[in-house]
Structure 1
């Protein structure tokens, strides 16, 4: 009798795993990591993917309030890396919520893997980090960015911006771009000084896990594209 019960339980577990790994009716595969057996599904509604489901190694997790663009160019990205040095991989997903000329908006979601299950962890908003830690000043000739004890200055005269088209101060938020580079969660937030100039450089925030959430470890401003990790040379 015991062997029969064990067989039935094992059979049901196999069925459950098979169903979870199969396509989900009414949903499209939005992104997939075949190596790690992770698939993200979404429903296409009103030009966006909504009502997401995550198939994480055979278990289904629902995220009904996520949304993402449907263009394959801006498909969600799946990372499975150890970003907090706990010797366990974390699941990181980025979703593009908007794009256009000089605009790229992404959300990020980080999950810790506990007993082969998922627990979502808060990631501090990059704009909140900037507003708390960065001071800026803008004149007709120069943009100034102060981050804690570091000061950066950008000569804006080569842009030849008419004074009436110049913002009152440096603006942030038109580009919010997340990546996992060398096992570090990073975000790139561009600084803008007028509608015609999409960026004078990027604030790069590297996150660390601290006090049960992901917070800024370092904040830097990079104006030279050749020194910017988001443009090379190495993405992991």
Structure 2
């Protein structure tokens, strides 16, 4: 339940904010991680003591969005945390809230569950194959040292959430070695049956057609 805003927050620092919306995310930094979060939302305070997010790189700081992503003409609060990053790794976690006499958590379907239910893959020393619906994508792997290849295309090392044009989206890279990706699965969510589920799933190999790398070039 919301609490009244205290005048001071001992040991807390601002990690992200939307000043115009009166939304501030506070946390304590301990050993390179933000912990013990507090959400100040329009005069109310919500504690999230178990959240964790990387604290030592501004590029990967927690993100806040306050946009209508379910087309109900009311804005939702979206908070994206970063659990870890590095070469071939980006681990983001998302929380979505609607507001009805307080912030209410709304489930976002796990992108890996969506992928495993909808995408078939195969990896050999000759080629990587991704089957999504009736579309088959084949990538040549003959130039890669066979001992470096995974048993199959791996998903989960890179999970990258964003909000584009009021659409909640996630990028999940398909990796064939620890540092090599064959492309990205891009999932666009919609609000259905009281949760956010996949509305569209695409496999994209061309950076120019991938919204996560900048404006899409047709």
Q: TM-score, with normalisation over the residues of structure 2?
A: 0.92
Does residue 195 of structure 2 align to residue 210 of structure 1? Answer: no
Does residue 61 of structure 2 align to residue 78 of structure 1? Answer: no
Greater mean deviation of Cα atoms: 38-47 or 213-222? 38-47
Greater mean deviation of Cα atoms: 140-149 or 207-216? 140-149
Tell me how many residue pairs correspond in the alignment.
212
Tell me the CA shift for residue 51 of structure 1.
1.1
Tell me the CA shift for residue 23 of structure 1.
4.5
Unaligned runs of 5+ in 2: none
2:116 is matched with: 131
Tell me the CA shift for residue 188 of structure 1.
0.2
2:209 is matched with: 227
- How many Å separate the matches in 2 of 1:90 and 1:152? 35
- How many Å separate the matches in 2 of 1:208 and 1:167? 32
Unaligned runs of 5+ in 1: 1-15
Is the 2:161–2:168 Cα contact (8 Å) retained in structure 1? Answer: yes
Between Structure 1 and Structure 2, which shows a larger proportion of strand residues? 2
- How many Å separate the matches in 1 of 2:96 and 2:135? 29
**RMSD after superposition:** 1.4
- How many Å separate the matches in 1 of 2:179 and 2:82? 23
Tell me which stretches of 4 or more aligned residues in structure 1 moved more than 4 Å. none
Does residue 182 of structure 2 align to residue 187 of structure 1? Answer: no
Residue by residue over 1:39-73, the C-alpha shift from the partner in whole angstroms, topping out at 9 and shown as x without a partner, is: 00111223211111100011001111111010222
Tell me the CA shift for residue 151 of structure 1.
1.9
**Rg larger in structure:** 1
1:33 is matched with: 18
